[in-house]
Homo-oligomer: A and B are copies of this chain.
Amino acid sequence: MSLKETGPSIAVVGVTGAVGQEFLSVLSDRDFPYRSIKMLASKRSAGRRITFEDNDYVVEELTPESFAGVDIALFSAGGSISREFGPIAVERGTIVVDNSSAFRMDEKVPLVIPEVNPEAMANIKVGKGKGALIANPNCSTIICLMAATPLHRRAKVLRMVVSTYQAASGAGAAAMDELELQTREVLEGKPPTCKIFNQQYAFNIFSHNASVLPNGYNEEEMKMVKETRKIWNDKDVKVTATCIRVPVMRAHAESVNLQFESPLDEDTARDILKNAPGVVVIDDRESNRFPTPLEVSNKDDVAVGRIRQDLSQDGNQGLDIFICGDQIRKGAALNAIQIAEMLL
């Protein structure tokens, strides 16, 4: 495939990271139309060569000048890079789709899951000559809301209790490497190398490594609480979350208990989910086949199963569900590129 003749001029910021690499893979898979593409990263990675869709690129150092003539920039280089270069890009007329948490809770910035709240970015389009920021939600939030939203639309979620089973990929490619290295070391009876995380990850689980806030929640958990309210445009929805890392490579799982305003029986819920875009139902009780992180790895769809009426709530007011989604794909790169597609 060669460069397209029409389409926007795009840039990938943080192209050498796990999500950056996935941006390229998803752009290609979806045959995203672009006129030109810039590969941007830190000075340290500048000069590296990348072959993409039969063309050779040299990774360029990210500078304010990088955005000249760029219509859409996909950012995944961490919050501080986004805070510094996001506004610079917008000033130069670029629409930034930002995968960091830098702008997610900024009232002026839409926080978008295309299947959930496309209306939040309805006024932002390429070709108007105006820059803008759009934030990609946290991976755990995206995966949760992909399944919870279709049910919320039907019966209104009043409260969600979430426990996550999060993969190494959420902490980047180096964390995935560390999990593999540690596992080899432990199997050989050696002490595990702990650089990315401060404790053994192989054959272990631990509370998410995000900073813990004074209220006892960690930042990952508070993202789920706050982003859900913003994405659903519902200040009253009650969410609590416990975020845990498990020794899995690249897909997250979430056990979600839902309390609804209106009754919702499990069969109706299953039907709703079967018809939800970007969702696949895997819910075979007889053969004990339900979603697993391995099964959704490198897949676009979020998988939902264990759909059952919550015995601890009266009158069909509650459901338990179990969700798995690829953290790098729908949890990050795919969602951002779906946002970019809506800009065209």
A255 touches B294 (CB 8 A): no
Given contacts A159-B312, A306-B216, contact A242 B322 (CB under 8 A): yes
Q: Which residues of B contact A288 (CB under 8 A)?
A: 198, 207, 209, 211-212, 218
Beta-carbon contacts of A178-215 to B below 8 Å, as 1s and 0s? 01100110010000000000111001111101011001
Interface residues of A in 59-97 (CB under 8 A from B): none
Copies in the complex: 2
Q: Which residues of B contact A225 (CB under 8 A)?
A: 311
A240 touches B187 (CB 8 A): no
A240 touches B211 (CB 8 A): no
For the complex, give the distance between the alpha carbons of A271 and B247 in Å: 32
Interface residues of A in 299-340 (CB under 8 A from B): 305-313, 318, 320, 322
Within the complex, the shortest CB–CB distance from A93 to chain B, in Å, comes to: 40
For the complex, give the distance between the alpha carbons of A207 and B312 in Å: 20
Count chain B CB atoms within 10 A of each CB in A205, A206, A239 and give the residue with the most.
A205
Interface residues of A in 233-258 (CB under 8 A from B): 238-240, 242, 244, 246-249, 253, 255, 257
Within the complex, the shortest CB–CB distance from A127 to chain B, in Å, comes to: 42
For the complex, give the distance between the alpha carbons of A175 and B215 in Å: 39
Q: Which residues of B contact A212 (CB under 8 A)?
A: 285-286, 288
Size category, A interface:
35 or more
Closest to A180 in B: B187
A238 touches B286 (CB 8 A): no
Given contacts A184-B187, A187-B183, contact A309 B205 (CB under 8 A): no
Beta-carbon contacts of A216-232 to B below 8 Å, as 1s and 0s? 11100000010000000
- The answer to whether the Cβ of A160 comes within 8 Å of any Cβ in the partner chain is yes
Closest to A246 in B: B246
- For chain A, what secondary structure do more than half of its interface residues adopt (helix, strand, loop), or is it mixed? mixed
A207 touches B313 (CB 8 A): no
A238 touches B313 (CB 8 A): yes
Other-chain residue from B160, B205, B215, B322 in contact with A207 (beta carbon distance below 8 A): B322
- The answer to whether the Cβ of A58 comes within 8 Å of any Cβ in the partner chain is no
Interface residues of A in 152-179 (CB under 8 A from B): 159-161, 163, 165, 179
- The answer to whether the Cβ of A293 comes within 8 Å of any Cβ in the partner chain is yes
Within the complex, the shortest CB–CB distance from A128 to chain B, in Å, comes to: 39
- The answer to whether the Cβ of A32 comes within 8 Å of any Cβ in the partner chain is no
A215 touches B320 (CB 8 A): no
Q: Which residues of B contact A199 (CB under 8 A)?
A: 292, 294
Closest to A210 in B: B288
Given contacts A242-B322, A255-B163, A306-B242, contact A311 B203 (CB under 8 A): no
Within the complex, the shortest CB–CB distance from A47 to chain B, in Å, comes to: 32
For the complex, give the distance between the alpha carbons of A265 and B61 in Å: 51
Count chain B CB atoms within 10 A of each CB in A163, A204, A211 and give the residue with the most.
A163
B207 touches A244 (CB 8 A): no
